[in-house]
Structures are given as structure tokens and as C-alpha cells.
Structure 1
């Protein structure tokens, strides 16, 4: 049953939302808290850049077919599915602001840590997962704001100023590049201090969530949406994840990928990054109430963790059964040879 329980970070997210609901930051305090949050986000992406080994990137690029499938799924199939959902489900069932959150979710990059962890548990191609998930986040700094503008234009919600791309580069990409430049000197040390630096990763996300929901609560977030609205988003997230999992799993088999590559495509192609998504929302939708926009992403985060935990274990169990079958077949073959 532990696989179905929320992880520590998810419980912290829930606690942050509850805190923001009852004790929202506002006024001058919100201004200074926003400055601290921007600094924390910059530090987060600096650490991402410093952790990523260039050897991993170079080695992973050799498996270009796998990476291309994952990128097309992450930035192509996901948005198309959400656009189709918008045509099927009326606004009276799924409020526009929550659908905006789903649109934003659909163009986010894949996760890094959980994609790699589940690929490892399931017995997939871990080096390819490391490269693909990392590449997804790098490309996402450019593709996510571009796709947001395109999708919102298609959906009749208006685009955004191209200044947003410049803000993304300054606040997210510049620290990442700085980390990459310093990676040869500080990369090993940062990777060795993963537990010590983890509060920076999670703390920066919690700060953005607290700031976003504080602003949304002040504007009347919980008076705008009902329990039915939230339940609708949960169901939409579940359908979206299930559809993408089926596409990646059976599609990779149809394309002739090995079982290890199938696992990598399934887990890397079906994820959406909360760690990248919340800071990006803070930049792309600056000046707007982003609480409703990041809410679908927060719900999707927990759903994907619970679902993929079960799926990874099933892959691992299937691998053990195949190995046991091979061992038995080898033993019988040896006995037959000795008898002969």
C-alpha cells in the first residue's frame, strides 16, 4: 500500500497550499517574498546545470531515435491530446482557467529524478533515461513558452509577449548555463552533496507554490472552483496519463525498440516536471493568478508518481519471471546434453 501513499514532497505541497489558503502572503511582504523566490529559482537551475555531466549528454545523443520519440511525445502528443480534450469537454464542465492549466501542463518537459528512478526499478535503459530527461528540460526552456503562445492562440485565449522568452532565458537558462560552465570544477562536489542540497530543490518549488496560491487565495481561488471542478481535473489528468502511457508503451513496441528502451520511453515520455513547471509558470504568467494554472500540474504530479510506481514494479516482476524462465530452460538444456 505504500506505493499509493503520497510521498513526503507531495505532503509538503499540500501543507503549503493549506498554509497559503489560511495565511496568504500579501502586500509588501509578498513583494519581498517574490524577490527571494526568484533568487531561489535561479539557484535551482544553476544546480541543475552543475549536476548534468557532459559525458552523459554526449553518450546519450548516440541513441537519437529513442530521444526523438520521447521529445515528440512530450511536446507533441501531449498538447494534441489536451487540445482534443478541450473540443470534447465544454467549459461548463471544465472551467477555462483550469483548462489553461492543463494546456500549460501539456507543454512542460519531462521529469528528471523520477523518470530515471522508475526506469532503473523497471530495468530500463538508465543512461538513455538520464540523457533524454535532461535534454527534455533543456529544450523545454525554449519550447514551453513557444508552445504556450501557439496553443493559447489556437484556443482563442490570446498569446503572450515574446519578452517572456527573454525572461525565461534570464531567469532559468542563464543560471543553468552558468552551472554547466562550472560543472567540470563543482559538478562532482554537488552530486556528492545531493541530500544536503535537496532542500534548495524542494524549497524553491514550495516558495513558488506558496506565493502563487497566496495570490490566488487573495483573488478568491477557493470561491471560484467547486469540488466537482477539482474532481473533473483529476479525472482529466488520469485519462491523459493513461492515454500517453498506452501510446508510449505499445508505440515503442510497434517501432521495434528493445524492452529496455520501451521502459525508458514509457517513463520519460509520460512524465511532466513539477520542478520546471512551477518556476516557468511564475515567469510566463507573471502578473496573473497562477494558482489555478499550477493546480492541474500539482495533481498530475501525484497521479503520475503513484501510477508509475505500480507500473515500474510490474515491469520488474516481469523481468524476474523472464530471467527465471531462461534459467530453467538453460538447466533443462544442460540436463539433456549430459544425458546425450
Structure 2
């Protein structure tokens, strides 16, 4: 069986390589206003997300409360607690920075589009996936800054919750509400061109990744990171993914979930959103000395989760189709 690497993962790699060789376009003194362009892009991402939301599908998944609780607790409690267990072993400032990057990744909400697509491919509970993926982003606006703020405050960093929440409301909630309000006029358009809008979303993400890494390469931030550290970080990311994946599966089986709900719980509960991550990175670490190292575990995890889940989803989907034919 041949495995294909996700094109978006390849695009991320290409963007980082481009930032390495041509960092001058992403630094603050660049004549290209990347910060302003990305800000507008993020607003449009969540505006179109509001246009595409289906209230009927969201309502249909409201009553499966055990599944919802398991997914959200896995996303916002289980993930961070696993990373917190490692904190007592942190000894150096470099280790602290990598650990903060892992905590930031662990505290992020789940993805929306990829979660739903993978659940659908595996023949899971799609309405429940839509509900959990959608509400995860809303919960993340409240919970993610709390997790990160606990440790940024301890490090003496200026961490203003009021400013952060205002920026998140303006950057995420406001455009979503505006999109919902205009669904009567734009919902069919957003659904019809959902593929093109997904490409737009990814383009904006690549833009902010380029800006983040170009600034870091320009300032030689990664000069202290060697291949051994990168390999260790990658192994940690994979270990965390599989630990959460199998813990969710174990709990779901004990709760006597059916096959479709177990798939939804594992797929939605193990995802971390690169869209929210890049936005939260800009807001939460704006006044800190944090570098693009903060985004590194998230991008490694993003590539890992897409690759592994796509393989599992394809296998489960084929098994479900074969069972129907029998």
C-alpha cells in the first residue's frame, strides 16, 4: 500500500525552506505588509467559517453529551496534563522554551475541517464531529490563554488577559458572528466554493508561518537547535499523540460507545488546530521573547496527526464498507 504525503505538509516544508533562504521579506522592515495581510486573512477565514456553519447539523449532535465531554476533556485537560507531568524534570532555559512550546500545542483547540473529513472517511459520527470541532474553537478562546498564562506569568512576562481576550474576540468571534448573520446571503456561496476557501485558509496559514520563521532565521534564533533536539522533539510529539489516541479509545470502550462514536472521539480528541495555533501565537506571545520554536511542536504534530489519522481513517472506512457488503 502506497502512502501519499499530504500536500499541505509539503507546502509547510517548502515555506520554511523559502523563509530560510529569503527571510528579508518577512521581517518588520520589509516593504511587504505581511502582518496586515495576514490579519485581514485571519478575519476572512473565520468569516467564511461562520458562513459555512450548519445550525441544523450542530443541533443534531447536541444530545450526545458523553461523547462531547470526552472529546473536550481530552483536548483541553488530558493533553496539557500529560505535558505538565514532564515539567518537574526541566532543568535548563532551553528545555523550558521547548516545554512551553509543547504546552502551547497541548492547550490548543481541535481542528475543524480535517477532523470532520477524517471522521467521514472512517465512517464515524459526522454530526458529532462537526459539533465538537466547532465548539472546540470557542472553548479554546477561553481555555488556551489560561493554560499558557499560568507559566508565562511565572516567568515574569507581561501577560494581559483582558487585551488577549479582546484580540481573540475581535479576531475570531466577531467574524464568525458576522458570517452567521449573513448566512442567508452567503451560505450557499461558502458551501459551493468550500474547496477554494480551504485553499485560501491554508495560504493564510503559510503566510504567517513564513513571517514567523523568516524573523527567526533572520535573527538566528534556530542556531542553538541541533538535529538531535529536533529528533527528540519529534519522538515526543508522536508519543503524546499515540498516548492520547489510545487513552481516548480505552475510555470510550469503557463508556460503551459504539464504533462511530469511538472513531469521532479519537479523531476529534487528538487533533490540534494549526489555524488557531498561528493566531494564538501572534496574540499570546506578542510581548514575549518567545520565538518560532513555540510553533515547532505544533507543526510537527500537525504533520504527524494528518499522516497517521489519514492512514487509520482509510483502513476503518474500507472495513466499514466491506462490512456493509457482507
TM norm. shorter chain > 0.5: yes
Residue matched to 1:337 = none
Contact 2:281 2:295 survives alignment (8 Å): yes
Contact 2:58 2:128 survives alignment (8 Å): no
Contact 1:6 1:302 survives alignment (8 Å): no
Contiguous gaps of at least 5 residues in structure 2: none
Moved over 6 A (4+): none
Residue matched to 2:235 = 235
* Partner secondary structure for residue 257 of structure 2: coil
Tell me the CA shift for residue 315 of structure 1: 2.4
Residue matched to 1:260 = 260
Residue matched to 1:32 = 33
Counting matched residue pairs gives 322
Counterparts of 2:231 and 2:134 in 1: how far apart (Å)? Answer: 32
Provide Cα deviations, 1:211-252, integer angstroms capped at 9, x if missing partner.
111111122122021111111110110110010001111110
2:11 aligned with 1:8: no
Counterparts of 2:175 and 2:257 in 1: how far apart (Å)? Answer: 36
* Partner secondary structure for residue 169 of structure 1: helix
User: Cα 1:159–1:100, aligned 2, differ >3 Å: closer, same or farther?
Assistant: farther
Residue matched to 1:144 = 144
Tell me the CA shift for residue 113 of structure 1: 1.6
User: Cα 1:270–1:150, aligned 2, differ >3 Å: closer, same or farther?
Assistant: same
Provide Cα deviations, 1:29-84, integer angstroms capped at 9, x if missing partner.
27722111111111111111111111122222121221111001100000000111
Point out the structure with max Rg over C-alpha.
Answer: 1
Residue matched to 1:18 = 17
Counterparts of 1:30 and 1:307 in 2: how far apart (Å)? Answer: 40
Residue matched to 1:333 = none
Contact 1:110 1:270 survives alignment (8 Å): yes
Counterparts of 1:61 and 1:151 in 2: how far apart (Å)? Answer: 34
2:107 aligned with 1:127: no
Contact 1:49 1:176 survives alignment (8 Å): yes
Tell me the CA shift for residue 273 of structure 1: 0.8
Residue matched to 2:197 = 197
Map 1:183-222 onto structure 2 (within 5 A).
Answer: 183-222=183-222
Contiguous gaps of at least 5 residues in structure 1: 328-340
2:56 aligned with 1:52: no
Contact 2:108 2:140 survives alignment (8 Å): yes
Alignment TM-score, normalising by the size of structure 2: 0.92
Contact 1:281 1:290 survives alignment (8 Å): no
Tell me the CA shift for residue 94 of structure 1: 6.8
Alignment TM-score, normalising by the size of structure 1: 0.88
What is the Cα-based RMSD across aligned positions, in Å?
Answer: 2.1
Residue matched to 1:73 = 74
User: Cα 1:6–1:295, aligned 2, differ >3 Å: closer, same or farther?
Assistant: same
Counterparts of 1:318 and 1:120 in 2: how far apart (Å)? Answer: 13
Moved more, 138-147 or 259-268: 138-147
Residue matched to 2:274 = 274
Counterparts of 1:158 and 1:246 in 2: how far apart (Å)? Answer: 36
User: Cα 1:313–1:172, aligned 2, differ >3 Å: closer, same or farther?
Assistant: same
